Amino acid sequence: MASDRYCIGCGYLLNRLSKNICPECGRWFDPDDASTFEAESVPFAWRRWARPPSNVHILLTFVFLVGCIVAQSEPGFPGGATLLAMPILAGVLVSDYLGRMVAVRLDRARARRDATEKRRTQRWRWAVAPLATIAVISGVMTRWPLQLRFHVSRTALEYAVDDFQAGQNGDTSKPRLVGLYRVDKLFARGEGNVGFRTSRRIRLDGRVQCAGFEFRPSSPPDEGRYRSLTPRWYVIEW
């Protein structure tokens, strides 16, 4: 005795019908193809997974994207929670995305025969993850998030240079917000040069690693750890 069949579309009980059409919503089904109806005896069907990325998937993709862009906009490299959480989140999102793609492929034969299925495909949902991936990779390659955040903060940074040189910064080892950056220390680095430390981290080998910006109006230093941002401004790591 076969178990009861229920309509995928509306849940109507489909037993003892003369046609393979749901009398309630008009949806087609094939009594010999367990993927075209719901039944307690059918615990798995590709149809259930053959859907575009969900709202949760898209929301988490945005969380991932914003997290990466913020990390890329800092001088120096991300550490701690970001370094751990981002690859895990990326792994979950990629598995979910590829799983859906495989399910759509394996469900294609059924979906093609399913003449009554009128659900909109919402193709744009498939584009979110690839676009986020392109944004993250381009951020790694060109460091545009750093450039963007620096340029938005530049006026505030230059005001801080003027104040520092006039001795009006108060306690220069007190953390402060300069533009969009949290600066935990300002310091003189030779004649007319001002350093802004934005991160200080103790590495696994016990060494202290710092990163930040330097305002340097004189000739550019040719040390490897200076990277030019714009005339007179550098990203430094030490």
Q: Which residues bind Zn ion (CB under 5 A)?
A: 7, 9-10, 12, 22, 24-25, 27
**DSSP bridge partners of 176:** 183
Nearest CB to Zn ion, comparing residues 9 and 75:
9
Q: How far apart are CA 184 and CA 236, in angstroms?
A: 15
Is the CB of 12 or the CB of 46 nearer to Zn ion? 12
CB 137 within 8 A of CB 173: no
For the bound state, the minimum distance from the C-beta of residue 70 to Zn ion, rounded and expressed in Å, comes to 47
Shortest Cβ 22–Zn ion spacing (Å):
3
Give me the least distance between CB of 17 and Zn ion, in Å please. Answer: 11
Distance CA 42, CA 34 (A): 7
CA Rg value for the chain: 29
Residue 68 near residue 90 (C-beta atoms within 8 A): no
Identity of the residue, 45 or 128, whose beta carbon is nearer to Zn ion in the bound complex: 45
Beta bridge partners of 226: 236
Q: Are 14 and 22 in contact (CB under 8 A)?
A: yes
C-beta closer to Zn ion: residue 110 or 216: 110
Q: What are the percentages of helix, strand and coil residues in the chain, rounded to 5?
A: 40, 20, 40
CA–CA distance, 219 with 155 (Å, rounded to integer)? 22
Q: Smallest Cα–Cα separation from 25: which of 12, 36, 34?
A: 12
Nearest-approach distance from CB 117 to Zn ion, in angstroms: 11
Contact at 8 Å (CB) between 97 and 57?
yes
Looking at the Cβ atoms of 22 and 132, the one nearer to Zn ion is 22
CB of 24 to Zn ion, least distance (A): 4
Closer by beta carbon to Zn ion, 6 or else 196? 6
- Minimum distance from residue 6 beta carbon to Zn ion (Å): 8
